[in-house]
Structure 1
Amino acid sequence: MREFTNPPLASAPRVGGLADAVFDHALEDPVRVVLGRKGADGTWRDVTSAEFRDEVLALAKGLLARGVRFGDRVAIMCRTRYEWTLFDFALWTVGAQVVPVYPTSSAEQVFWMLHDAEVTAAMVEHEDHAMTIGSVVDRLPLLRCLWQLDEDAVRELGEAGRDLDDEVVHRHRRAVTPDSVATVIYTSGTTGRPKGCVLTHANFMFEVDTVIRRWEPVFHSKRGDEASTLLFLPLAHVFGRMVQVAAVRGRVKLGHQPSLSAAELLPDLAAFRPTFFLAVPYIFEKVFNAARRKAEREGRTGPFDKAVEVAVKYADAMEAKAFGTGPGPSTALRMQHQLFDKLVYAKVRETMGGRVRHAMSGGSGMDRRLGLFFAGAGVTVFEGYGLTESSAAATANPPERTRYGTVGQAVPGTTVHIADDGEVWLSGPHVFQGYLNDPKATDAALHDGWLATGDLGALDEDGYLTITGRKKEILVTSGGKSVSPAQLEERVRDHPLVAQCLVVGNDRPYVAALVTLDAEAVDHWLAMRDKPRPTPADLVRDPDLETEVRRAVVAANTLVSQAESIRTFRILAHQFTEEHGLLTPSLKLKRKAIEQAYADEVAALYP
């Protein structure tokens, strides 16, 4: 199949903007709990729709009092927290355009985005962020205001707008139309300088209303309960932003967590107890690997691995039944599954808060076997695919017929087309307006309403999309063999000891790889074998460790022909990090930068 169209469920909005939902919901149901806010003492406090409206209104008045005007662009540089959502909706209330900035951005990255977007004001989280902007402020003549959250910026702005009449705010809000620009989100810059994606209120409203209409049943852990989600994705990324807007428009109780580290995230999952959440594959890998390490420490590796096999087989059989290609799990398999649900699966679910039965995954590809395991363990993960340019999800697996290992079908109202060269093209009301101040890049991306994604993929007979790689990341060996590195890298990363994998081989005689290690997994591996902790340089030369990584490489090579296989690899002593310029803020590999930084190691792979 070369093209698949899914009929729309939600119509494109004709009036209004994103902030209207805050005021409408408060009017209709003022005591409904819409957000959870974590206090300094670690306890969660409920926020009603009326309380949130009042906070948004007060902040909007303060922004107007401090000179923010309709159409102004205002930057937010902050981790995922309650105040980001508050500022987003206050700025949208007065018709301003939000420019999100990753809190880890360098001074030059910050300068480029604020300069390119002609930002007039900025909100930052703390002094370090303020100093980052301060170091380039002399080159930002349009920047008039800088507010700092930990210096009580919300209270300060509330005081500033206290005497302003509410109607002034509402006049601004009523002037916002679906075609008004809501946000300019800068791409991660894996292949060059970040580009500002211009997204309108209509883009987001169509996207989230479609997701709510199609996937609303999966927001609940059981019929009739209150839907809630804990957002821990960065709000500077379009995926996290979509979750935020969908929660507010869909009346899903929303909590915020600023850290992806297990030590901070897992306690908040246990306390907040969401009914579903949205994440990247990395999170699901961490949950699985932590569960397996715990079983190994307790001497229960055998039973755990058996439980994994049963979960995978059970979910595989259920998938086959859904597609009419099998009868479903056998009686014996059902009995085994029921036993392990009490012994293993319930404990895995408990680490995610205990109530989660559904989750959504995006940002990168998820291994089919991992998806089957979670489904068999009672948490169905709906994998999807999208870009900043498509306002997040363009495809996703439907609730009733999930095909694991794919990114699903086009979301309702979207068409997916596979071009002659294998590139994925998208069309729908969620596709962006273009790149800010960059008509050349806009013309290259948009073709008569079609978005050329730069990703390679294939549609199966039912319209399910599988992403196979990136056009710009295809390697061509000196023998003329084209190799897509993504599937090889993902399979090597399936090994619990592996943190990252970069496949190389462009203009070289064969394919090779650089591999980094997961520190937590390595510590566990050493402890289970009574090995002392060596220096990083000695660790990467450990023959037992090399054997483990070789197994991961051999497993990856089963996916491709011999000419495309990884012939050799090098284990590195340190991970690729954003701080060293080797990862984007969304944790994607910067291939050219890594190959330059490790030029000697790459050269050693080709003696």
Structure 2
Amino acid sequence: MQNLLEFYLGLRKKYPNKPAFATKQADKTFLSKSYSELIEDAHSFSEGLEGIEPGDRIALFADNCYAWMVSSIGICFSGAADVPRASDVTEQDIEYILNHSESKILVVENANVLKKILQVESRLTSLKEIIVLDESGLKSGSVKSSKFKLRNFADVIEKGKVAKSKSPKALEERMSRIKGNDLFTLIYTSGTTGAPKGVMLSHSNILSQVDYMPINLEEDDRALSILPVWHIFERIFEIFSMANGACTYYTNVRSLKEDLAIVKPTFMASAPRLWESIYGGIQGNILKASTTKKLFFSIATNLARTHFRTLQILKGRDLQLVPKSFFRKVFDFISALCLFLVSLIPYLIFDSIVLSKIRKATGGNLRGSVSGGGALPFHVDEFFNTIGIPVLEGYGMTETSPVIAVRTPDNLVAGTVGPLYGGTEIRLVDWKTGEVFLDTTRGLIEYGRKGEIHVNGPQVMQGYFKNQEATSKVIKDGWMNTGDLGIFTANGCLKIVGRTKETIVLLGGENVEPVPIEAKLLESELIDQCMVVGQDRKFLSALIVPNIQALSEYGADLSQIAGTTKVKEKIENEVKAKINAGEGFKSFERVVEISVLSKPFEVGDELTAKLSLKRHVITEKYAKNIDEMYK
């Protein structure tokens, strides 16, 4: 298979009448479209496009929906590459992305997005036409453009049906001309610094991800879609679901709880923030529960943790940064076996009484969820795996299509992102000296040593669009410098420990990785978000957003809670309890001062679309708070 046109057309033959995508209706039922309907609609859409040649770019600014997928596949069928973004795209990004990508056509979700586009239409240089997915978007006639042709999605489909009947072989002819290294999608990163960079991913990049996916899905599986589909992680997961004939159900954060009960999904892609939120909700409910319920929950989770950890040792899946000696292995195995057998019956009893109810909240059929787009805090990671909801953390980036490593149900080592993805090679480099001390292509392995991760494989991007300088900075001789710091464990897994660009250098010259400290702080039920600061300072401090649920007794909203002296004192005590020598932190890694914030970090402001901290933005925005901590 040399391109995604072949892949998509093959779906119609493999799973003609199977449901492909399902959308929630007003009566709370889900209406599905079959694979045959999906491919027919996409084919019609492609033939309804005007003035498009293979290699052109077509932008797609919309959120998860069936029409999004039809448009995306249709753009692929036309031989063009899509340029995706969410419907909440800013005017600044609209102008930059459309002009930089030289997109000829733009597909938007509805009239509201269209109005944003028309605010800057005089500054758009390459765009010729706008297509609106929502059928009511143009019917009122209230939205007009003096520069662009405007059409409804349904009109494009109808025109395509006519064109398809006149030229039935056009799609096959285009398919024969598309090569594996041709551009499939151009994704503009919402990076933490500078203008967005256009990541060029080819047909071969995407197909390699599907070929090597180590997770089993079946035709009857139900996948819940909650992450933005324009993000490559969710998109790859939906393509993977299609490859296996599974059905994807579209939901959103507001109706997730309800839809989990209705759909009873068997698998889903997710982000760390989702699990942190669910974990916080569970802990918040326990705080308000009766003494008896608190006691039962504590016993159940402690028994489950013992069961999980001992089982990990018995299966050889306990985290091992360096290899164990033979005698240590034997000792650990015997100890774990004894503890496993002693605790098994009490665990099973409390699991059925307490933990099974938590699992039912996810629908009761969830076999697992792949978490990506950011680091999953260890306490959250272990909690869900402990109570029987397998969270398979993965690691990657847009520039690698995205997966570099991922855990599987059969290789689940908590605290790591799993073994390397099929076809992937890595090097670990000492970022200070440039020494390559681990290189999987040469069989050079050193366990337990931290280094900068460089990746080589079929998933590595072609480069940044029209930006050779930026490409050359991150790709050398086919090796992609991720900028992440990792350790290769004796389990054969990768553990992410920070980023070279995030490293804080204190006045005394000490190098500090803020991510492990932040992860430890986030274990506290009192802390919702945080960022450690201290570059060129004598000591570390932290900006902290308190957890409203856990501290509701001190105020009705965040501003009231943050302004309470008692809250600051409680959080200060919590920070001291979490970050100290007893927890494995060095003296210079202690957080000395804190500033309690009255506003959460939000996507588009302090957070990227992947929910990563925009450290430079936060540092600038809270400069006064930071200075105050160092007075």
Instruction: Give the TM-score, by structure 2 length.
Output: 0.87
Contact 1:395/1:411 (<8 A) preserved: yes
| Structure 1 residue 365 displacement after superposition | 1.6
Query: 2:201 matched to which residue of 1?
Result: 199
**Aligned mate of 1:467, from 466, 473, 496:** 496
1:387 aligns with 2:397: yes
Matched with 1:5 is none
What is the CA-CA distance between 1:552 and the residue it aligns to?
A: 4.2
Secondary structure at the counterpart of residue 308 of structure 2: helix
Q: Distance in 1 between matches of 2:572 and 2:93?
A: 35
What letter corresponds to residue 180 of structure 1 in structure 2? D
Q: Partners of 1:200 and 1:46 in 2: how far apart? A: 30
CA contact (8 A) 1:469 1:484 kept: yes
1:104-123 → structure 2 map (5 Å cutoff): 104-123=88-107
User: Following the alignment from structure 2 to structure 1, what is the Cα–Cα distance between the partners of residues 379 and 158?
Assistant: 54
Deviations 1:359-382 (A, max 9, x none): 111112223333232223222111
CA distance in 1, matches of 2:378, 2:58: 41
Q: Which moved more, 1:553-562 or 1:506-515?
A: 553-562
* C-alpha contact (below 8 Å) 1:82/1:255 kept by paired residues: no
Distance, in Å, in 1 between the alignment partners of 2:124 and 2:183 is 22
Query: 1:419 maps to which residue?
Result: 429
Report if aligned partners of 2:379, 2:523 keep a CA contact under 8 Å in 1. Answer: no
Structure 2 residue aligned with 1:294: 285
Give the direction of change, closer, same or farther, for the CA distance of 1:51–1:486 in structure 2 (3 Å limit). same
The answer (yes or no) to whether the contact 1:204–1:430 under 8 Å persists in 2 is yes
Superposition deviation, residue 559 in structure 1: 4.1
Deviates more, 1:340-349 or 1:386-395: 340-349
**How far does residue 350 in structure 1 lie from its aligned partner after superposition?**
1.6
2:598 is matched with 573
Amino acid at match of 1:603: D
For the Cα contact (< 8 Å) 2:521–2:575, is it kept in 1?
Answer: yes
Which residue matches 1:162? 161
* Residues 465 and 271 of structure 1, relative CA distance in 2, 3 Å threshold: same
CA distance in 2, matches of 1:573, 1:51: 49
Residue in 1 that maps onto 2:139: none
2 CA distance for matches of 1:232 and 1:532?
Answer: 31
1:231–1:243: 8 Å Cα contact kept in structure 2? Answer: no
- Conserved 8 A contact 1:190-1:584: yes
Check whether the contact 2:83–2:187 (CA below 8 A) recurs between aligned residues. yes
In structure 2, do the counterparts of structure 1 residues 458 and 341 end up closer, same or farther at CA, with 3 Å as the change threshold? same
Q: 1:503 aligns with which of 532, 539, 549?
A: 532
- The alignment status of 1:340 with 2:364, answered yes or no, reads no
CA contact (8 A) 1:72 1:120 kept: yes
Q: Is the 8 A contact 1:319 1:401 kept in 2?
A: no
- Structure 2 distance, partners of 1:504, 1:234, is 30
| 1:165-244 pair list within 5 angstroms | 165=164, 166-211=168-213, 214-216=214-216, 219=217, 226-244=220-238
Mapped partners of 2:541, 2:366: distance in 1: 40
Letter aligned with residue 162 of structure 2? D
Q: Which blocks of at least 5 consecutive residues in structure 2 are unaligned? A: 137-151, 317-328, 432-450
Given that residues 312 and 369 in structure 1 are in contact (C-alpha distance below 8 angstroms), is that contact kept between their aligned partners in structure 2? no
Q: Which runs of 5+ in 1 are unaligned?
A: 1-12
* 1:123-522 correspondence runs (5 A): 123-151=107-135, 153-165=152-164, 166-211=168-213, 214-216=214-216, 219=217, 226-257=220-251, 259-260=252-253, 263-299=254-290, 300-323=293-316, 325-326=332-333, 327-328=336-337, 330-421=340-431, 422-519=451-548, 521-522=549-550
From 47, 52, 77, the equivalent of 1:93 is 77
Higher relative contact order (CA 8 A, sep 6+): 1
Q: 1:45 to 1:549 in 2, by over 3 A?
A: farther
Give the Cα separation in 2 of the matches to 1:501 and 1:544. Answer: 15
- Pairing 1:43-62 to 2, within 5 Å after superposition: 43-62=29-48
Counterpart residue number, 1:7: none
Structure number with larger C-alpha Rg? 2
Q: Are the aligned partners of 1:383 and 1:408 in contact in 2 as well (CA < 8 Å)? A: yes
The answer to whether structure 1 residue 82 and structure 2 residue 66 are counterparts is yes
Q: Is the 8 A contact 1:494 1:552 kept in 2?
A: no
Query: 1:547 matched to which residue of 2?
Result: 570
In structure 1, distance between residues paired with 2:396 and 2:114:
32
Shift of 1:387: 0.6
- CA distance change for structure 1 residues 578 and 254 in 2, over 3 Å: closer, same or farther? closer
Name whichever of 326-335 and 360-369 sits farther off. Answer: 326-335
* Aligned counterpart, 1:3: none
* DSSP 3-state at the match of 2:498: strand
Q: For residues 135 and 541 of structure 1, do their structure 2 counterparts lie closer, same or farther at Cα, with a shift above 3 Å needed?
A: same
CA 1:19/1:248 → structure 2, altered by over 3 Å: closer, same or farther? farther
Q: Which amino acid aligns with 2:612?
A: K
Equivalent in the alignment of 2:326: none
Q: Give the partner amino acid of 1:235.
A: V
Q: Aligned letter for 1:571?
A: V
Q: What is the RMSD of the two structures over their aligned residues, measured on CA atoms?
A: 2.0
Deviation sequence 1:12-36 (CA, Å, 0-9, x none): x5x2x22333322222342222222
State the percentage of identical aligned residues.
Answer: 27
Greater shift, 348-357 or 366-375, is seen at 366-375
2:325 aligns to what? none
- Does the C-alpha gap of structure 1 residues 420 and 155 become closer, same or farther in structure 2, counting only changes over 3 Å? same
Normalising by structure 1, we get a TM-score of 0.90
Return the offset for 1:549: 5.5
Moved more, 350-359 or 39-48: 39-48
Instruction: Name the CA distance, whole Å, in 2 between partners of 1:416 and 1:29.
Output: 37
> How far is the alpha carbon of 1:318 from its aligned partner?
1.3
For residue 401 of structure 1, give the secondary structure of its aligned residue in structure 2: coil
**Residues 27-49 of structure 1: CA deviation (Å, up to 9, x unaligned):** 23422222222234431023222
Q: Which moved more, 1:245-254 or 1:597-606?
A: 245-254
Aligned to 1:9: none
Which stretch shifts more, 133-142 or 561-570? 133-142
Aligned to 2:21: 35
1:127 & 1:517 partners in 2: Cα distance? 38
> Which residue identity lines up with residue 601 of structure 1 in the other structure?
N
Q: Distance in 2 between matches of 1:548 and 1:508?
A: 22
